[in-house]
Every structure is written in structure tokens, then in C-alpha cells.
């Protein structure tokens, strides 16, 4: 099994009436700019361990690194049963978490993947003074929508709430942690077996019946009731003052997910709204590029965060 090179400390902190699970590396009293790592949908904060281990000693030594489990993922459990999650809550959670973990109000360096990248882009536009540098790993946003789609989307949301209540929307369980690791490798064949087995222990947990369940709320599978508005996204992008590094994997995830509904070319066009943005490509990697090429991703982060403005 994979052996972490840098051991994380874990704690639960109060965030908007929730008990948020947070992993940290490095000293709490560091004078260096804090580095905050945000995971994606159906993922957990432990997902960053491979990148943290790949950071150079010069970069990581003495630096406070903070990685939360988003609400309803990992060990950030909801206090009562929940049947829906709202995008705006992630923004509120991040703001509250930073007030708790970095009470000085100093700017942070932000690295975020997929859903976390989408949240980070909006947050950096809403709170530009709070973010010094932003690295967005495949946080593409969503296909453009039209107001005329709203009634159908609302109906879909209502239907899925009913399906969740009836138990028709659920997450699969597994016979063992090894089976969870196999599931991770089936989704991402590039994930090495030792890393998959280590990650499986943090991505799932044994239940009373002995089966292993994913540490993610099934309610996350319900469609968002609100449409994604490109004009609102671009307004947030335009308000970002931090330099942004948009990192993509060589496998075109957008083409696989959305076909012609949303393409890399359209994403690149949206990025033109960001005042200071560069694009980097990670070869031989898919959407989970921080698992596929952690050393490459770590070096990109280091170079971008430490380079002169």
C-alpha cells in the first residue's frame, strides 16, 4: 500500500453550523502564504495526498496546507438528513472556513479540482482580495443554458427529490476495501494499485453490515435546480484579480462528457474574461490528473505560486 511521505493532521472545525473535516500539513503558525486545496465532486480531501507528497522540500517546508472535505463528502457530515445541495453553499462554506483557518484575513494561494475549481473561480471573483494565486485543475464550468430550459430543469429536480426519497437514487456499496480500490481503478486505469488501495480507505468506510460505502451523500447526485448562467460566470471571472493558472489533462474530459454541447474551445473563450490567465497541459493524464501525474501537477503549482508576479 502507498505510504504517505508527509503526514496530515486532521480536525473538525465549525463552519456554518456544520462540523467540517479538514486535513492540514505543516505548522499552524507559519508565516508563509497558506495553501488551500479544494477537491472535486464525489471526492475527498485525502485525494491531495499524492500532490502534497510530491512538493519539493523547499516549497512545502514550513508552509500551512489546508484541505477540507466539502459538506456531504468525506467526514464532513450533515447534522441531519439532507436531500439537496446548493452550489452557493460551497462558496459560503469556503468563506467561513477561511475565516476560521486563516483568521488574519491574509490572502491565500488556492488550488482546486473540478467542482472545487468551479467554486474557486466564483469565490476568487467575489472575494478577490482573499486570493493571491489560483490554480484551477479542470474546473470547466457547465454548458451554456437558456431560460427556456428552466421549467424542464425544475421538473427534473422535483422528480429526483421524489426518487431519492423512494430510495431509487443511492450509492453502490462494496464487499471490501479492495473492491473499492478496484472501482477507483476501473474509473481511472492510470491510478496505481498501491495508491488506489490507500485512497479507498479514505474514500469509503465500513458499515454495520460489513460492506464498504462511499463517503459521499447520494443527494449530491440530484440535478441542480438552478441553471448554470454563463453571463454570471463571466462576471465572476472578470472580477478575479489573482493570476490564474488553468490546468488541463491531455485526455479531453469535456468531449467525453458533453460531446458538442460544451467544448474546450468554448472553455478557452470563457477564460479570456479572466484578466490574468495562463493555460497549462498535463500529458498522459485524465480528469483525475492529480492522481495520474502528481509530480507534474505539484511542479506546476510550485512554479506558478513561487514565480514573480
Per-residue pLDDT tens over the stretch 2-19 = 999 999 999 999 999 999
pLDDT (0 to 100) of residue 309: 52
pLDDT (0 to 100) of residue 170: 94
pLDDT bracket for residue 307 (50, 70, 90): confident
> Residues with Cβ < 8 Å from 247, sequence gap 6 or more?
135, 136, 137, 138, 279, 280, 281, 282, 289, 297, 300
Provide the grid cell at 85: 445541495
Cell numbers 469565490 correspond to 123
Q: Which residues of 244-255 are buried (b: 16+ CB within 10 A; e: fewer)?
A: bbbbbbebebbe
Per-residue pLDDT tens over the stretch 69-84 = 999 999 999 989 899 9
The whole-model pTM stands at 0.97
Q: What is the largest CA-CA distance in the chain?
A: 55
Taking alpha carbons only, the member of 138, 119, 126, 129 closest to residue 38 is 119
- Segment 301-308 shows an average pLDDT of 91
Say yes or no to pLDDT of 182 above 90.
Answer: yes
C-alpha distance from residue 173 to each of 80, 159, 185 (Å):
21, 24, 16
Amino acid at each position: 500500500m502507498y505510504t504517505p511521505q508527509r503526514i496530515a493532521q486532521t480536525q473538525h472545525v465549525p463552519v456554518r453550523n456544520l462540523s467540517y473535516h479538514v486535513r492540514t500539513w505543516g505548522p499552524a503558525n507559519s508565516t508563509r502564504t497558506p495553501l488551500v486545496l479544494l477537491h472535486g465532486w464525489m471526492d475527498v480531501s485525502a485525494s491531495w495526498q499524492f500532490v502534497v507528497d510530491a512538493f519539493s522540500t523547499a516549497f512545502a517546508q514550513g508552509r500551512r496546507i489546508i484541505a477540507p472535505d466539502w459538506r456531504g463528502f468525506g467526514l464532513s457530515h450533515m447534522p441531519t438528513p439532507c436531500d439537496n445541495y446548493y452550489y452557493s453553499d460551497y462558496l459560503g462554506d469556503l468563506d467561513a472556513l477561511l475565516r476560521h483557518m486563516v483568521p488574519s484575513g491574509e490572502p491565500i494561494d488556492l488550488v482546486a479540482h473540478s467542482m472545487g475549481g468551479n467554486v474557486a473561480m466564483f469565490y476568487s471573483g467575489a472575494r478577490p482580495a482573499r486570493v493571491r494565486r489560483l490554480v484551477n485543475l479542470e474546473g470547466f464550468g457547465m454548458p451554456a443554458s437558456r431560460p427556456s430550459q428552466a421549467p424542464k430543469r425544475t421538473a427534473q429536480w422535483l422528480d429526483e427529490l421524489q426518487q431519492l426519497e423512494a430510495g431509487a437514487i443511492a450509492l453502490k456499496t462494496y464487499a471490501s476495501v479492495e473492491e473499492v480500490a478496484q472501482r477507483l481503478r476501473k474509473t481511472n486505469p492510470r491510478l496505481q494499485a498501491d495508491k488506489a488501495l490507500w485512497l479507498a480507505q479514505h474514500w469509503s468506510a465500513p458499515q454495520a453490515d460489513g460492506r464498504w460505502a462511499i463517503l459521499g451523500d447520494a443527494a449530491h447526485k440530484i440535478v441542480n435546480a438552478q441553471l448554470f448562467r454563463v453571463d454570471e460566470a463571466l462576471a465572476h471571472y472578470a472580477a478575479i484579480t489573482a493570476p490564474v493558472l488553468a490546468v488541463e489533462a491531455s485526455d479531453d474530459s469535456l468531449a467525453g462528457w458533453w460531446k458538442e454541447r460544451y467544448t474546450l474551445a468554448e472553455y478557452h473563450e470563457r477564460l479570456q474574461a479572466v484578466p490574468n490567465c495562463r493555460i497549462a497541459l498535463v500529458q498522459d493524464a485524465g480528469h483525475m490528473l492529480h492522481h495520474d501525474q502528481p509530480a507534474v501537477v505539484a511542479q506546476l503549482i510550485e512554479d506558478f505560486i513561487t514565480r514573480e508576479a
